Amino acid sequence: MPTARLSGLNALVIGGSSGIGQTLAEGFQREGARVAIAARTTDKVSRVTERLRESDSSALGYTVDVTERQAIDRLATDVSRDMGTLDILVNCQGTTVIKPATEVSEAEFDQVLDTNLKSVYFTSTVLGGLMLDRGQGAIINIASLAAHRGWPNACAYSISKHGILGLTRTLAAEWAEQGVRVNSISPGFFLTELNRDRMPAERKQAALTRTPYNRFGEVDELVGAALFLASEESGFVTGTDISVDGGYLAGGI
């Protein structure tokens, strides 16, 4: 029987209590990783942690607001105490505001940027410090098609996701010699808790029209890319973004 691809590795998925993050946490666990999740809502964290513990009693869950720097410091302390080492970090936290740019308030702008970009910077630099201390590790940031195109009526979100690509590439270049790889995944259109009820019907139809596969993605279809970036199979891959988008970015007219 072949060895699980992540056997013996410790993984932390921030935003792992729902949607893409939960799916990645479950996928990592199936491949042998010891998994911890972190998210803001206690009930959701508890529910998913209990589900993970059905397969591995050592699974962990942390309730944390990663928009607060001190909370990230505490998370790093807890992870170091509970897991000993950290091999894989996934940043999957995210929020959005769907409205014209001129109508976005300062508070709404700050909420999106704090959640989608600022928190990823500090989770990467603080928790990544646990990897730098050992000279090995893999960070995977969840970007978006909005990191590659202008995204009307989601300006703050698009800004934050463009920032994720810049952060990913810069940390990759800075940390390569120290053994820590940093990559990102840009999902195409996947109906998740974040966007299912916020995306207008006409926007959903436009997404399908511009996606050569002519369908929405299934979140399980993101697991393969994440496993590749988390495992030794991508040992010489850093600073790269993998688009899992049904051909959206490749499509023409």
Catalytic residue ranges: 157
Strands 60-63 and 88-91: unpaired
Sequence-ordered list of residues with C-beta below 8 angstroms from that of 193, at least 6 positions apart, any chain: 18, 19
The helix/strand/coil state of 57 is coil
CA gap 182, 89 in Å, rounded: 9
CB of 48 closer than 8 Å to CB of 18: yes
Question: Sign of torsion, CA 19 20 25 27?
Answer: positive
Query: What phi, psi does 135 have (nearest 5°)?
Result: 80, 30
| Residues paired with 91 in a beta bridge | 14, 141
| Residues paired with 217 in a beta bridge | 190
**Tokens found for residue 196:** 């299912």
